[in-house]
Structure 1
Amino acid sequence: MRRMSLTPELVALCHRDEVDPGPDGSWTQLSDDDFQTLAMRLSGEADDGPLWVFAYGSLIWKPAFESVEQRRAAAHGWHRSFCLDIKRWRGSREQPGLMMALERGGRCDGVIYRLPDGEKPAQIERLLRREIDDHESVSSVRWVPVRTAQGSVRALGFWVGVTGKGTSLGQPLESVAKILARACGHVGSGAEYLYNTVSHLETFGIHDRNLWRLQELVADEIRLVHGHSVTSHDTAEVAEPAIT
């Protein structure tokens, strides 16, 4: 069994009760018409056949949609990165956080989910409303070519290739760890998000070396912040990934 340094006990130390501050007014919110228009455009760009969604982070452990099939998949030319600056959700204005997106370069192993047959515009609109809420984020929604053991498909991806306002690209893991160990918002902490992502990736047999190193660094930072000494219970076992 592979042992995570970041444990539920350490994650619990990061929790704080925070009030949702709401939108800060610096982003242009999408209207109902905007969501419908974007969903129609993306539906028109879709391949024939079923609708696939590429999950590389929270969609793996909290998909919030029904699926009828899942497959391991790899997106080449992208890698996971905590590069989205946030002052809401898992961060606050007093202690900003970071959320994950896909930056260019490398390879990202994840999971694709096939949604039930249905009206693609309606299915896509529900996904859009879960993942984005402003015009500035629209460009991060795109169709991503992925490879699976059964062949290549195009899957809908979110927060792919983000740039510009609200992003901090290429940060060293040590800097990211300091933020994730301290940031918390009304939906939870950055440490919780990282723990859930790494542990669920390992369950799927996906070992992301950068995230694995990051969870070690975040565990160290939490101990530093909270003066928490290491005990025999300060490791969490996750399944050894299958060899494929």
Structure 2
Amino acid sequence: MLEVVRREWGGKSDLWIFGYASLIWRPEFEFAEKRFSTIYGYHRALKMWSRVNRGTPECPGLVFGLLHGGSCKGVAFRIPRERVAAALPALWDREMPNGVYDPKWLRCQTEMGVVRALAFTLSKRSPNHTGVLSEEAYRQIFSDSCGRYGTTREYAQLTYDKLRELGIHDHALGKLLALVRR
């Protein structure tokens, strides 16, 4: 899939990456510019099983996926063309170690116009998509799940805090965090 993304990018211009969760607060790649952006047709949702980073096979945690429907505010990062050869494989290793995301080119609306950015989306047909989870399931996951980078709760809170700092209000995430505090 990485080779397909490289071909689709084409190498003739800078590469844009759309961040909607941890890429916003921990991009781990050098970028020349970042722009607040909105994509339409997808939304951020804590609906992807994590059996390594935020959980284990025995006690899976959750990470965000970009699912069909609605809209999502995030950050578009511009990687200069000459830095893509180094940045893209590292980004791929981080986001696609198990090939769980569906990389897609999405139109990001920014204050300076539309940019075409690579985004890591999640199909509802993926075995890593959680489907509908009960309030009790979220409480248990937030209470018990921990992986190599920490807990699902920490991850969700870090994302929520950074979004708020940027003036992005994710009401669904706020409600979910309030639910697990009860």
TM-score, structure 2 length as denominator?
A: 0.89
Kept after mapping to 2: 8 A contact 1:52/1:113 = yes
Aligned counterpart, 1:112: 76
Query: Quick check: 1:177–1:214 contact (8 Å CA) kept in 2?
Result: no
Could you tell me how far 1:162 is from its partner in structure 2?
A: 5.1
What displacement does 1:130 show? 1.4
Cα shift readout 1:53-83 (whole Å, capped 9, x = no counterpart)? 1000000111111111111111111111111
CA distance in 1, matches of 2:135, 2:46: 9
Deviation of 1:183 after TM superposition, in Å, equals 1.1
Alignment root-mean-square deviation, CA: 2.0
For the residue of structure 2 that corresponds to 1:214, the secondary structure is: helix
Q: Which residue of 1 aligns with 2:114?
A: 152
* Mean Cα deviation higher: 200-209 or 122-131: 122-131
AA aligned to 1:116 is: P
1:82 matched residue in structure 2: 46
Quick one: distance in 2 between partners of 1:171 and 1:109?
A: 23
Higher strand share: 2
Contact 2:103 / 2:118 at 8 angstroms: preserved in 1? yes
Q: Which has the larger radius of gyration?
A: 1
The ranges of structure 1 where at least 4 consecutive aligned residues each deviate by more than 6 angstroms after the TM superposition are: none
Aligned to 2:94: 130
Unaligned stretches of 5+ residues in structure 2:
none
| Superposed displacement of residue 205, structure 1 | 0.7
The separation in 2 between residues aligned to 1:84 and 1:147, in whole angstroms, is: 25
Structure with more relative contact order (C-alpha pairs < 8 Å, separation 6 or more): 1
Match in the other structure for 2:8: 45
Amino acid in structure 2 at the alignment position of 1:76: Y
Conserved in 2, the CA contact under 8 Å of 1:75 and 1:146?
yes
Match of 1:194 among 156, 163, 166: 156
Would the aligned equivalents of 2:30 and 2:87 in 1 still touch at CA under 8 Å?
Answer: no
The 1-side partners of 2:20 and 2:134 are apart by 20
